[in-house]
Amino acid sequence: MFSFNDLQVIDVVARRGSFSAAAEELHKVPSAISYTVRIIEEKLSVTLFERHHRQVSLTPAGQYFVEEARQLLKQMEHIQLQTQRVANGWAENVSVALDTVVRQSRVSTMVRDFYQAFPDVELHLTMEVYNGVWDALADGRADLVIGATAAIPVSGDFDYTDMGNLHWVFVMAPDHPLTERALPLQESELAKYPAICLEDTSRTLPKRTTWLMNNQRRIMVPDWSSAFQCLEAGLGIGVVPEHMAAPKLKRGKLVTRTLPHAPPVSPCCLAWNKASLNPALSWLLEYLGDSEQLHREWMR
């Protein structure tokens, strides 16, 4: 019923308060502005403007129409902009899944730098555990995953960058009964105490557990922060990321002991869906850097 130009004319006339002032802003003659307003009023069968000697003012119906017209103008401009972005490979959002093993302090810096580069693109972040990051990538819930551990358990159009190895360390509270046991600790002794474990967030892929003895009870927690709280309180024992445990071991809040079988080192990587590549995702990949930078900034 109304073109972008029609709505723009109404908006400018309402804002400037006269046909002549609107004509000056829109680089038209006043008669063209007056004609456009009259045609719109005829289509609506209402009067939008009260005509005075040299000025016009909105009627109640005109006030309502202008408010709605301005919303439509914004939507039309948004549609145009987003269509152009899609044509040029842009996206409205980029989804990133982070494994809980990565440095949390690095996340806020990445978010700040991303929005400085792409103020109109939303960054969606989720925290996943173990195979949860691979599940998010395979299921399309994430375009990029940071800190994915173990071998790639999915097939698809994915690429990855090595982030180095994640080392694990066995810990417990300084006053835990196992600290008084002779070394090396036996599996039968370890199994007497609950293991602090994170729940794998995978929805479809097989779930993983980092460390657990046969017939050992578990205390399931959602993240490493909760795990360390339980460990420091002496509620259980467990295997945790070495880079996270190091400050607590140094301050004496936790102690480490040698296991009968050392937990295997976990290869870690950055992975992404090549089909989701767009300028924002490409910027993130360049920003995150090579293997050495990734390991230094996210795994230490």
pLDDT at 85: 64
Q: Are strands 266-273 and 144-149 parallel, antiparallel or unpaired?
A: antiparallel
Cβ-count burial of 189 within 10 angstroms (0-12 exposed, 13-18 middle, 19+ buried)? middle
What pLDDT is stored for residue 205 in this prediction? 85
Helix (H) or strand (E) run with residue 255 in it: strand 255-256
CA–CA distance, 158 with 172 (Å, rounded to integer): 38
pLDDT number for residue 91: 65
Residue 293 has a pLDDT of: 95
What digits encode the pLDDT tens for the residues 136-192?
Answer: 998 889 999 999 986 665 667 888 999 999 999 999 999 999 998 877 888 889 999
Average pLDDT, the chain: 90
Q: What length does the chain have?
A: 300
Q: In sequence order, what are the beta bridge partners of 165?
A: 267
Q: What are 169's two structure tokens?
A: 């360390």
Residue type, 69: A
pLDDT in tens, 12-37: 999 999 999 999 999 999 999 999 99
| Domains and their CATH numbers in the chain | 4-87 (1.10.10.10), 93-165+267-298 (3.40.190.10), 168-264 (3.40.190.290)
Q: Say what the pTM is.
A: 0.68
Give just the sign of the alpha carbon dihedral 170, 173, 177, 179.
positive
50-93 pLDDT per residue, tens: 999 889 999 999 999 999 999 999 898 878 877 766 666 666 78
Which pLDDT does position 212 carry in this prediction?
86
Contacts of 191 (CB under 8 A, 6+ apart): 213, 214, 215, 216
Kindly state the tokens that stand for 159.
């690429």
Question: In this predicted structure, what is the pLDDT of residue 129?
Answer: 93
10 Å CB burial of residue 143 (0-12, 13-18, 19+) is: buried
pLDDT of residue 151: 65
Q: Token pair 């700040």 is at which residue?
A: 112
Q: What stretches of 52-203 adopt beta strand conformation (E)?
A: 56-58, 93-99, 122-128, 144-149, 158-166, 168-172, 195-198
| pLDDT at residue 154, rounded to an integer | 62
pLDDT tens across 221-277, in order? Answer: 999 999 999 999 999 999 999 999 999 999 999 999 988 888 889 999 999 988 888
Query: Within 10 Å of residue 300's Cβ, how many Cβ atoms?
Result: 11
